[in-house]
Amino acid sequence: MSKEKTIAKKSVKTKEERKRRINAAVNQVLISLVVFLFVIPLLFMLVTALKPADQVMVKPFKLVADHLAWENIARAWTSINFPRFLLNSVLVGICCTMLTIMTSTMSAYAFARLKFKGRDILFLAYLGTLMIPQQVLILPLYLILKQIGWYNSYLALIVPPAFTAFGTFLMRQFFVTIPFEVEEAAKIDGCNPFRLYWNIMLPLAKPGIASLAIFSFVDNWKSFLWPLIVTSKENLKTIPLGLYMFKGQYGTDWSALMCATTIAIIPSFIIYLLFQNYLQEGIAMTGMGGK
């Protein structure tokens, strides 16, 4: 009987191991397929960026051109005021990200650690603003900016997007995972609420801050609608508005457009590579339950 039981157990383990391997293989195939589908547009963009202009729309379609047109880079850089648009996007992205981190961490610290009447109700109401579509707020914000004289200014591009309920929610979820014992020890040493926030909570929340910084920078870098609404001067336009300028009345310079788009995605890609580990840790931590 003991030998039969041993054989039965080994058979069950073998079946479970085989099933586990099959599931792992299927998951790997599905993930590879999804990655491939995401890579195809990027590959097509890179190929088109280095095609001569007269070979982009030829029939039959040719994936690889007869020769690489490196002059597309110079044409994309000089045909519009691309350096100025790039500078504007970098300035707006960095300033808005820093301001978002400041406003989100301060409000998140208040909702996570400070005790005051109506805190939870106010936090729920604050989160409720996430359900309001951005398009609904554009007209009121536009009228306010016109009244205070911020239209066609960097302040209009930077300040309104810097106040976000998503950033507050993300950082609050991270702050509530920090043990209260750390805060109590700091209070015993004489830390006031601001020093506690600045010297204790912010250093411990580096992964969450890095995640928020990546989300904020990428979101502002690729923003098209808001800069289109609040700016009309060419020297204030950002990269997305500049890319739209490659589309002319009688045609589109696809090779220059794809080349400019390739240049435009490089900063976001670099930032993701630099903060990849922080992003993964921050998402994992903010997904934990709060108190």
Burial class (CB in 10 A: 0-12, 13-18, 19+), 269: exposed
Bridge partner residues of 247 (DSSP): 252
With beta carbons less than 8 A apart as the criterion, state whether 107 and 116 touch. Answer: no
Q: How far apart are CA 162 and CA 158, in angstroms?
A: 7
CATH level 2 (architecture), domain 72-286: Orthogonal Bundle (1.10)
Half-sphere exposure of 202 (CA within 13 A, CB side): 14
Q: What confidence score (pLDDT) does residue 76 get?
A: 83
pLDDT recorded at residue 9: 60
- In eight-state DSSP terms, residue 247 is B
DSSP 3-state percent helix, strand, coil across the chain (nearest 5): 75, 0, 25
**Got the DSSP string for 99-166?**
HHHHHHHHHHHHHHH---TTHHHHHHHHHHGGGS-HHHHHHHHHHHHHHHT-TTSHHHHHTGGG--HH
pLDDT for the residue 288: 43
Per residue of the chain (291 residues), what is the pLDDT tens digit? 555 656 656 666 677 778 888 888 888 899 888 888 888 888 888 888 888 877 777 777 677 777 777 888 888 888 888 889 999 999 999 999 999 999 999 999 989 888 888 888 999 888 888 888 888 888 899 999 999 999 999 999 999 998 888 999 989 888 888 888 888 888 887 888 888 888 888 888 888 888 888 889 989 998 998 999 999 888 999 999 988 888 765 667 788 888 888 888 888 888 878 777 776 666 666 554 333
The whole model's pTM is what? Answer: 0.80
Q: Which residue has the tokens 């808005």?
A: 96
* Alpha-carbon 124 to chain mean position: 24
- CA-wise closest residue to 75 among 251, 266, 259: 259
Predicted confidence at residue 12, as pLDDT, reads 60
What does the domain layout of the chain look like in residue ranges? 2-49, 72-286
